[in-house]
Amino acid sequence: MIIFKNIIKEYNNGVKALNNINLHISKGEFVFVVGSSGAGKSTLIKLLLKEVEPTSGKLFFNKKDITKVKNRKVPIIRRKIGVVFQDFRLLPNKTVYENVAFAKEIIGASAKEIRRQVPIVLSMVGLSKKANSYPNQLSGGEKQRVSIARAIVNNPTVLIADEPTGNLDPETAGDIMDLIMQINRRGTTVIMATHAKDIVDSMQRRVIALSKGKVVRDDQRGVYDHEV
Ligand code: ADP
Which protein residue has the closest C-alpha to ligand 1 atom 12? 17
- Reported as a pLDDT band with limits 50, 70 and 90, residue 225 is confident
Q: What is the dihedral of CA 193, 195, 198, 202, to 10 degrees?
A: 20
Of the candidates 227, 141, 217, the one whose C-alpha atom is nearest the C-alpha of residue 179 is: 141
Q: Is residue 62 part of a domain?
A: no
Q: What tens digit of pLDDT does each residue of 144-188 get? A: 999 999 999 999 999 999 999 999 999 999 999 999 999 999 999
Q: 169, exposed or middle or buried, with CB in 10 Å at 0-12, 13-18, 19+?
A: exposed
The domain that holds 104 is classified in CATH as: 3.40.50.300
Q: Is residue 1 part of a domain?
A: no
pLDDT at 222 over 80: yes
> Domain range for residue 100?
27-55+76-219
Between the CA of 181 and the centroid of ligand 1 the distance, in Å, is 28
Q: Is residue 71 part of a domain?
A: no
Between the CA of 134 and the centroid of ligand 1 the distance, in Å, is 33
Which protein residue has the closest C-alpha to ligand 1 atom 17? 17
Pocket of ligand 1 (CB under 6 A): 11, 13, 15, 17, 35, 37-43
Instruction: With beta carbons less than 8 A apart as the criterion, state whether 9 and 67 touch.
Output: no
- Reported as a pLDDT band with limits 50, 70 and 90, residue 227 is low
- Reported as a pLDDT band with limits 50, 70 and 90, residue 133 is very high
Q: Is residue 157 part of a domain?
A: yes
Please report the atom of ligand 1 found closest to the CA of residue 39: 3
Q: Is residue 70 part of a domain?
A: no
Distance (Å, whole) CA 130 – CA 172: 17
Q: 172, exposed or middle or buried, with CB in 10 Å at 0-12, 13-18, 19+?
A: middle
Tell me the pLDDT of the chain averaged across its residues: 95
Q: Is residue 64 part of a domain?
A: no
Q: Is residue 13 part of a domain?
A: no
